[in-house]
Structure 1
Amino acid sequence: MHPLKHLSAALLTCTLTFAAAQQAPRVYTDADYAQAEKFMPYNTNPLVMHAVENPTWLADGRFWYRDTGAKGNTFMLVDPAKSAKAPAFDQAKLASAMNALALSKKTISPDHLPITNFELKDADKTVLTTLAGKRISCDLAGDGVCKELDPKEAGAPKTGRRGKAMGGVDVSPDGKKAAFIRDWNLWLRDLPTGKETQLTTDGIPNYGYATDNAGWSHSDNPILVWSPDSKHIATFQQDQRKTGELYLTNVTNGHPTLTTLKYPLVGDKDVTMIERVVINLEGKDSDKSKLVRLKMAPDQHRSTLCDDISCRGGSGWDDVQWSSDSKNLAFVSTSRDHRQEWMRIANPATGEIREVMGETAPKFFESGNDKVNWHYLAATNELLWFSERDGWGHLYLYDTNTGKLKTQITHGNWNVTQVLVVDEKARVIYFRGVGKDPNEDPYFQKYYRVDFTGDNLALLTPERGDHTVTPSPDNHYFVDTWSTPTDPQVTVVRDFTGKIAVSVAHEDITRLKATGWIPPVQIMVKARDNDTNIYGLLFRPTNFTTDGHYPIINHVYPGPQTGSCGSRSFSAAHGDMQSLAELGFIVVCIDGMGTPYRSKAFHEFYAHDLGDDTIPDQIAGMKDLSTRYPWIDMDKIGIYGHSGGGNATASAMFHFPDFFKVGIAESGNHDNRNYEDDWAEKWAGLEIKNPDGTSNYDSQANQNWAKNLKGHLLLAHGTMDDNVPPTNTLLVVDALIKANKDFDLLMIPNVHHGYAEASQYMTRRRWDYFIRYLAGATPPHEYKMKDYAAVQAAMSGNGPSDNETADPQP
C-alpha cells in the first residue's frame, strides 16, 4: 500500500475514535449527585442566617421570634415602643433547668431549645412552655429551675402561632374552658378543675358534632367558634351517614389492616352535609347547656375560599363570625359548586336566621387569596365583603339591615388579597394587595390602608419586594418582612402609618453563597395568546456557560388554587429545582393562565376545563425563552410535578407527545371523578352525564388520552394516599397497559400523599430518570442521599428533639 494511503487510514481511524469518544454518553458519579444535593433545602436552609419567620406578638405589645445563627437559635424579644431588641431569656440557664427536670430523652442544647411557643411572666423571669408534651414553668431568677405543672395550674393549652386548636381541644377566649370531641359528641372541660361535661348526647358514628373530616383532610380537632363572652359555641352536626367511602390497605406480612374513610366524590348523589347549631352554656359552672338548631335546611360542607369547611383544617372556621357582644352570629353558606354565596345572621338564642345578601359568580366565587376576607361589623350594622365581580378582587361595604350596597371601597386593575385588620372605630381597613404598581412583579404583595369610604388609600410598605406582614393585636405596630426571589429578607417594625420604628434583622446569605449557590432568574414570557405576560423562575447550573446546550425541564403545578412557582419571597431552595439544574439542565417554573393573584379572567381562564392544565402556556413560555437563549435544547424537554402537577405532567405527555420527551408524574389526580368532590366541583363544575354515557369530565381524565404516549413516563404514588387515592394513578396504568405502552411505575408502600421516609428515594429516582432518558447519560448506581431523619432535623431548625407532642411548628 502507498505510504499516503497508510497515513490516510490512520487518520481516519483516529478521527472515528475521537468522534466516538466525543459522543460517548456521560457517566455521572456520586460526586456529581453530591454536588447537586448541596442545593437541596435541607442543606441550603441552615446556611441562611437571621431569617424572621412567624413573629409572635405578646399581650403587652412586644413580640418574639427565633433568630438563626451559625451556632444555633436565639429567641429574641422586641419592644417596638422602646425601640429595643434583646434575647428573651437566658438560654443556657433554661437548657440546664430543662435537663435537670429529666422529661426529655435527649440532652437539650442551649442553642437548640425544643420550644415552639412560650409565655413570659414575673417580669420575664418565668418561662412557661411545653416539654415532651408536658406543660412546665421555669423560674430563671436564680440558678434556674423548671417544674412540671399540675393540669389544674397549667392553665389553658396555648394555641399555635396561627391560632390552631391544639391537642384536639379548642379553648374559650377567657381561657377557662376547652371544648373537645368524644364518641361523636362535643364535651366541655373546665380547665381550673378538670371537670368534664357532655354538651351533646345524640351524636352517633358519621353523624357527630364539630367533626373535622373533609375526606381528603381530617383530624381530631373540633371545628367550632366560641363567642367573645365564652358563653356560646357555634358548630354543626356533620352528616356523613350516606357519604361514600374510601378504602386503603397497608402493605404487610399477613392480613392487612383496612382503613375506611368517608370520602365524597364528584357526582355523588349523597355528599357530606352540616346542620348548624349553637350550644348556649348556662349555669355558673357551665354544667348546663342548651342546644339550638338554626332554622334552616342542612348546608353544604363548603367554604367561601377552599375545598374544606375550615381552610385551616380543624383549627378555625373563618366563615362563621360572632358579634362583639355575642348576641348575633353571622355566617356564609356556599353552594355545592362554589358559585353562590348567602350571607346570613342568626339569633343564637332562638335559631332564627335572616338572609342579608348573596352573590353568584359565573364560574366560581372566592372570598380572598389564602384568607377569608369578609367581616361582620355588628356595631354599625355593616358587612365588609370581598368580591371579584368587576374582574378584580376588591372590597365592598354593605348595610346588614337592608342588605344593600353602601359603597365599593377599592377600585382598579389590581387585587386586594388579604384583609389583616379592620379598625371599626377609626373606620380604616389594612390589607395586603398585589399588582397595583405596574412596574413591579405582579405577585409582590404590599401592605395598604384605606378608609371605609374608599378615601385615603395609602401604601405602607414601599420597598420593592414581597411583603409579609404581622400586625400587633392593638394595630399600633406591624412586623414587615420583605424580600425577592434573588434578594434576602429585611425585617423591620413599622407603626400603623408605615414609619419604621425598629430595624429587626437582615437575612445573611454569606455562608450560602460560599457554596457556589446562585439565585434563580426571574423571567417574564408570553402566554399562549402571544399577548399576556406570564411570570416564573429559571434555574441554571452553577457552572453554567452560554456555550453549553442544556435540556430543559418544566416543574409544573396547574392550580387553579395556586401556581407552579409559589411565593415570590426569598428562598434558599425551591424544592429540588436548583439541584436538578446542577446536573446539567435548565429548570423552569411558570405560573400559567388559570392560576390566582392576577385578574379574575386570568384565574378562570380554563375553569370547567381542567384538561387544559396550563400546558399550552408552559409550552409557549419555554418557546419564548428559547428564542432569547440559544443554549436551551428544545429537542430535549422534560416535565414533572406532584399531585396536581402529577396530573398535569401526564396530561402534557399525552396531549403533546412530540414536544415533551420525558415526564415524571407523582401522586396525580388523573381523573377528578376519583378525587374529593369539593375541589373538583369548584374548579370543573358539577358533573353532567349525557344519555350516551359521556360526561363533561371526560376531557380531563388522563386515562382517556394515555394511548398517545410516545416518550418516557414514570408514574409514582403512595399506597396509603388518603388525599389523592392511588386508584387515580392505577386508572392511567390500566389504560397504558391496554394501549400496549411502555412506561415505568413506582408504587411506594404505606406512605400517604407525601412520601415521608421514601422522599429521598423518590428524589434520587427522579434525578436518575431525567439523567437516563432526557440527558441520555448514565446515573450513578443507587446514590445514597442524606438520611431522612437528618433531613428532618435540618429542616426543623431545632436540631434533634423528642418533643413530638409539644406545640407543633406552624
Structure 2
Amino acid sequence: MKLRFTGVLLVLFQLSGMAQGTIEDYKRAKEIRSTFNQLYQVPRQIVWSEDGNSFSYRISSKEDKDVLYLIDAVAKNKTAVDVVEVAKQMSAILAEEVKLQAVPDRGLNVLDANELEFVERNSKWKWNTIENKLTKIGDATGQNFDRRGGYWGGRGDDSKGEPVESPDKLYTAYIKNSNVYMAKKGDPKSEKQLTFDGSPGEYYTARIQWSGDSKKIAVSKVRKTEIRQLTLLESSPIDQLQPKLQTRDYVKPGDALPQYYPVVIHVEDGRVIRVDRAQVSNQFSLSNLAWRSDNSAITFEYNQRGHQRYDILELNAINGQTKSIISEVSTTFIDYSGKKYRNDLDKTAEIIWASERDGWNHLYLFDAGTGVLKNQVTKGNWVVRKVIHVDEENRKIIFEASGMKKGEDPYLIRYYTIGLDGKGLKELTPEAANHQATFNKNHTRFVDVFSRIDQAPQAVLRATDGRTIMNLERADIADLEATGWKAPEVFASTGRDGKTDIWGIIIRPKNFDPEKKYPVIEYIYAGPHSSFVPKSFNANPSGMYELAELGFVVVQIDGMGTSNRSKAFHDVAWKNLKDAGFPDRIAWMKAAAKVYPYMDIDRVGIYGTSAGGQSSTGALLFHPEFYKVGVSSCGCHDNRMDKIWWNEQWMGTVDKHYEECSNVENASRLEGKLMLIVGELDDNVDPSSTYQLVNQLIKNGKDHEFIMVPGMGHSSGGDFGEKKRRDFFVKHLLGVDPPAWNQY
C-alpha cells in the first residue's frame, strides 16, 4: 500500500511536537552562509616560480585578512608580503592614495624566493621581500587577464583563415574558392591551385598543416551541414522596453554533423592522397590531425557516432594506405569526453593511451608505428583519474588515482608514480584524504593540500619521491565549530546488487534532536560524466546545511551510472539516464534509516539542477513509492532537446530509449508534489525542455508549480528560486506554512 500524505497525518506531526520549519529555523538558515565561512589558514592560488624553487600562496587569516606568502622551497622558509607597505609605497609612487585589501592576483608571477610581480592600476609592479621595496616596472594597459571563454556551443567557420607559412618559410598555403592554393611568399603571380573539387557545400578547411620538410600539406575536406539555432526570448532587457530574441549555435541529438576527410597533398607534383572514407564513416568527430616526425604519414583521431568506437588512424603519405593504430571498441559507450588520454612519445615511437578495456580506467603503452600493445602500465581494481606528467627520460609517470586502498572511500584522490613498464608503483601522498597537488614546472616538488569532507585541510610541500619537505599550513576551524557546525557524516552501504558499495554524506541541522523525526531530502546530480559527492573539506557543500537547518536531514549520494568507479558501475547509465542510480540511492537511504531511525523515509524529497533537474523530476515519475516531493531547476527533461555531445555520449544515437527516459513522455506518471524552475535565457539546457514538460503536465491534469525567472540563464533559480525551493519542502514535507519572507 502506498503511503499518501493527508492533512490528518501532518497535524499529528505538529501535535506531537515534531514539526520544524519555524521562523527561528529560517533565521538560523539565513545566517549559515555568513557564519559557516570561518575557515582559515588554507592555501589557495598557488603560483610556482619558473625554476621551481619557490612559490606563493594565499590564505584567509582569522584577523579577516588576505595574506600572501612567498616560500623558499630550498631554504624551507616563508615570508608574508606586507600589503600595507605595498599600498603605502604604491601611493607614494603614483602620488595618490591607494588602498589594497590584498596583494593583487592579476598578473601574479613569482620570480624567485625573494621577488614577485603583479599588476595594479594598469601598471606592472615588482615587490622585493628582503628590501621591502616596491618598484614600478612597466605599463600593463591593454593586457587581458580575463580567463572567461565564450559561449560553450559556438561553432567557428573553418572554411576561412589566414595563409599558413611553410616551415622553410618559402611558401604559404591558403584557401581560395573552397580549394587549397599555394604561392611563394611575396610573389602572388606564383600562385598554384592544388585542389579542384572544393565547393561551398564540401570545402577544404583552412586548418592547413605543412609537413616538417615543407613538401606536403595535410588538410581535410569537409562535408558541411546546417547548424541548429537555439532561440531564446529575453522578456525584460535592461536597455529597452520591448523583448529581444537571442540565438545560439546549438546542435542536438540526431542532428546531422559535418564530416571531415583528411587528405595529403604533395606540393611539387600536385598528387592528392585521400583517406579511405569507409574507415571514417558516420563521424561524431575527427580531430588531432598531426604529421609523423619523419613526414611519412599523418595521424588523427576518429570518434564514430554512437561512441562505441574510437580510433587513432594513420593516412600514409607515400602509399595512401589508411590503417588503424589503436582501436577502442565497446558494447556500451567509450567515455571519450572524460577519460581519453593520449601522449605520443616521439623519441621512442610510443603512445601512452587510456582505456577501460579491462573494466577499469588504466594506462597502456603502444608501439606508435604498428599499434602493437607493449604492456599495460597500470592495473588493478582502481582507476587512473588523471595523468600529471610523463618523464620520458626516466620513463616514469606521475598520476592521480582513486580506489587503490581497500576499505577506504574509493573516490579519494591520491598521487602515485610508476614506470612505463608497469613496475615500481610508488605512493606520494600517504594520508587517507582527498589530495590536491600543485606541481612545479619540472615536477620535482609539489604543494599538497589534503582534506576530507569530515577532516579539516592540511598543506605540505613534498618532493616527487614522496618525502615531506616542509609543513605549510593546518586549517583553523575553531570559529566554525563554535557556531555549532558539525561535519557531514560519510556513510556507505551496498547498492541494488547487495555487494557494490555506494557512498554518500548525511547532513543534520545544528539543533538536531535524535528524538525527533526528520524528513529526508536528497540533493541529486547523477550525470554520468563524473562523481559528485564532495570529498574535500567544505563547510556548507551546495548550501545543504541551509536547507537542513529548516528541519531536514539532507543527503547526497553517488549511485551506479556515475563515473570514477569500474566500467560496469558506469555502464548502468547506457541508454538509460532515467535510472540515475535510483535503486542504489533508495537502498542507501533505507540502510541509513535502519541505523538512524529519526530519518523518516516515508517523507523523502529531492532536488537538483540541469542533469539533476532531470533526475529529481524522474524520481517522482519513476519512483513515486519512495520520493514524494521534488524541485527541479533547468532540467534536461527530454534528452532529445539538449546538447548533442553530452546526450549522445551516454544515450547513443536517437532511438526509442530517448522516449523511455523522457520526463515529458512520462509526465502522466506524476503522483507527488513537483516544482519546476527555469531561467528564460538558459543556453546550456534548452528551456523549452521545461516548457514542454509543463505542457504535458497540464494536458494530463497534473498539479505542479512552475517558476520562470526572467533574464536568468542556467542556474538553480538564484536567491528567489532558493527561497521558493525551501518553502516548497517546508510546506509539503513538514506540513508547515512557511513564514513571510520579510519576517526573517
Report the TM-score, using the length of structure 2 for normalisation. Answer: 0.82
Task: Give the C-alpha shift of residue 638 in structure 1.
Answer: 0.5
Cα offsets for 1:648-688 (capped at 9, x unmatched) = 11111111223222100111100000011111111011113
- Larger strand percent: 2
SS at 1:681 equivalent: helix
Equivalent of 1:667 in 621, 626, 634: 634
Counting only pairs closer than 5 Å after superposition, residues 133-532 of structure 1 correspond to structure 2 as 134=122, 136-138=124-126, 144=134, 146=136, 149=139, 185-186=160-161, 241-252=225-236, 254-268=241-255, 270-272=256-258, 331-344=300-313, 355-366=324-335, 372-532=340-500
Aligned residues: CA RMSD: 4.3
Residue range with higher mean Cα deviation, 667-676 or 338-347: 338-347
1:63 & 1:142 partners in 2: Cα distance?
18
Separation (CA, whole Å) in 2 of partners of 1:135 and 1:237: 47
Rate the CA distance shift 1:535–1:427 in 2: closer, same or farther, 3 A: same
**Cα contact 2:70–2:114 (8 A) shared by 1:** no
1:97–1:146 CA contact under 8 A, matched in 2: no
Match of 2:731 in 1: 772
- What does residue 554 of structure 1 align with? 522
1:60-88, CA deviations, whole angstroms, 9 ceiling, x for partnerless residues? 2122222221322122222322222223x
Check the 8 A contact 1:419/1:430 in 2, yes or no: yes
Letter in 2 for 1:736: L
- Select which of 706, 712, 734 maps to 2:695: 734
Distance 2:162 2:320 in 1: 21
Distance 1:120 1:358 in 2: 44
Counterparts of 1:206 and 1:97, CA distance in 2? 62
* Between 416-425 and 605-614, the greater mean CA deviation after superposition: 605-614
Question: Do the aligned partners of residues 82 and 150 (structure 1) sit closer, same or farther apart at CA in structure 2, a change above 3 Å counting?
Answer: closer
Tell me the equivalent position of 2:574.
Answer: 607
1: CA distance between counterparts of 2:704 and 2:90? 55
Are the counterparts in 2 of residues 492 and 500 from structure 1 also a CA contact under 8 Å? yes
Summarize the Cα distance change of 1:242–1:469 in structure 2 as closer, same or farther, 3 Å threshold.
same
SS at match of 1:557: coil
Q: Distance in 2 between matches of 1:256 and 1:208?
A: 38
Distance 1:624 1:707 in 2: 31
* 1:207/1:241 contact within 8 Å kept: no
Judge conservation of contact 2:175–2:205 (CA < 8 Å) in 1: no
Secondary structure of the structure 1 residue equivalent to 2:617:
helix
Q: How far, CA to CA, are the matches of 1:571 and 1:430 in structure 2? A: 27
Q: Distance in 2 between matches of 1:209 and 1:633?
A: 63
CA contact (8 A) 1:323 1:376 kept: no
Alignment partner, residue 285 of structure 1 = none
Distance 2:344 2:116 in 1: 39
Match of 1:686 in 2: 653
8 Å Cα contact 1:101-1:147 kept in structure 2: no
CA distance, structure 2, for counterparts of residue 491 and residue 78 of structure 1: 13
Return closer, same or farther for 1:543/1:591 CA change in 2, 3 Å cut-off.
same
- 1:210/1:389 CA distance change after superposition, 3 Å: same
State the alpha-carbon separation in 1 of the partners of residues 557 and 357 from structure 2. Answer: 27
Matched, 1:57 2:24: no
In structure 2, relative to structure 1, the CA distance for the partners of 1:128 and 1:625 (3 Å cut) is closer
Taking structure 1 as reference, are residues 244 and 453 closer, same or farther at Cα in structure 2, changes over 3 Å only?
Answer: same
Please tell me whether residue 39 in structure 1 is matched to residue 7 in structure 2: no
By relative contact order (CA 8 Å, sep 6+), the higher-ranking structure is 1
Cα distance in 2 between the residues matched to 1:702 and 1:250:
26
Quick one: which of 550, 555, 558 aligns to 1:588? Answer: 555
- Give the aligned partner of residue 666 of structure 2: 705
Moved more, 704-713 or 443-452: 704-713
What CA distance in whole angstroms lies between the structure 1 residues aligned with 2:372 and 2:606?
A: 50
Amino acid at match of 2:667: A
- Counterpart AA for 1:416: V
The Cα of 1:34 is off from its aligned counterpart by 2.8
Q: Once structures 1 and 2 are overlaid, which stretch shifts more, 498-507 or 94-103?
A: 94-103
Distance in 1 (alpha carbons) for counterparts of 2:273 and 2:710 = 45
SS in structure 2 opposite 1:489?
strand
Summarize the alignment of residues 530-541 of structure 1 with structure 2, pairs less than 5 Å apart.
530-541=498-509
Q: Distance in 2 between matches of 1:748 and 1:559?
A: 24
Amino acid corresponding to residue 588 of structure 2 in structure 1: G
SS of 2:44's equivalent in the other structure is coil
Alpha carbons 1:184, 1:207 under 8 Å: kept:
no
Cα 1:477–1:38 change in 2 (3 A) is same
SS in 1 for 2:306: coil
CA distance in structure 2 between the partners assigned to 1:108 and 1:768 by the alignment: 45
| Structure-1 separation of matches of 2:692 and 2:318 | 51
Q: 1:610 to 1:139 in 2, by over 3 A?
A: closer
Within 5 Å, which residues of 2 pair with 1:101-112? 109-112=99-102
Percent identity of paired positions between Structure 1 and Structure 2: 32
* CA 1:417–1:227: 2 relative to 1, 3 Å: farther
Gaps spanning 5+ residues in structure 1: where? Answer: 1-17, 169-180, 190-196, 212-222, 280-291, 304-308, 310-316, 689-694, 786-810
Cα distance in structure 1, aligned partners of 2:107 and 2:540: 26
Cα displacement (A) at 1:22: 3.0
Are the structure 2 counterparts of residues 296 and 747 from structure 1 closer, same or farther at C-alpha, using a change threshold of 3 Å? farther
Please give the alpha-carbon distance, in whole angstroms, between the structure 2 residues aligned to 1:149 and 1:143. Answer: 18
- Partner Cα distance (2:139, 2:390) in 1: 38
- Structure 1 equivalent of residue 707 of structure 2: 746
d(CA) in 2 for partners of 1:147, 1:236: 47
Q: Are the aligned partners of 1:367 and 1:386 in contact in 2 as well (CA < 8 Å)? A: no
Q: 1:638 aligns with which of 591, 594, 605?
A: 605
For residues 458 and 122 of structure 1, the distance between their equivalents in structure 2, rounded to whole angstroms, comes to 30
The farther-off stretch of 52-61 and 597-606 is 52-61
Distance 1:52 1:334, change over 3 A: farther
Q: Deviations over 1:692-734 (max 9, x none)?
A: xxx2311111022211222210001110111101111111101
TM-score w.r.t. length of structure 1:
0.76
Distance 2:370 2:377 in 1: 18
Amino acid at match of 2:74: A
Could you tell me how far apart the structure 1 residues matched to 2:90 and 2:210 are? 35
Deviations along 1:545-566, one digit per CA (max 9) or x if unpaired, are 211110111111112112341x
Distance 1:294 1:416, change over 3 A: farther
Counterpart CA distance in 1 for 2:676 and 2:289 is 41
Between stretches 767-776 and 90-99, larger displacement belongs to 90-99
Residues 383 and 137 of structure 1: CA distance in aligned 2, closer, same or farther (over 3 Å): same
Partner of 1:653: 620
Distance 1:396 1:759, change over 3 A: same
User: Do residues 68 (structure 1) and 56 (structure 2) align?
Assistant: no
Separation in 2, partners of 1:124, 1:209: 53
What letter matches 1:777 in structure 2? V
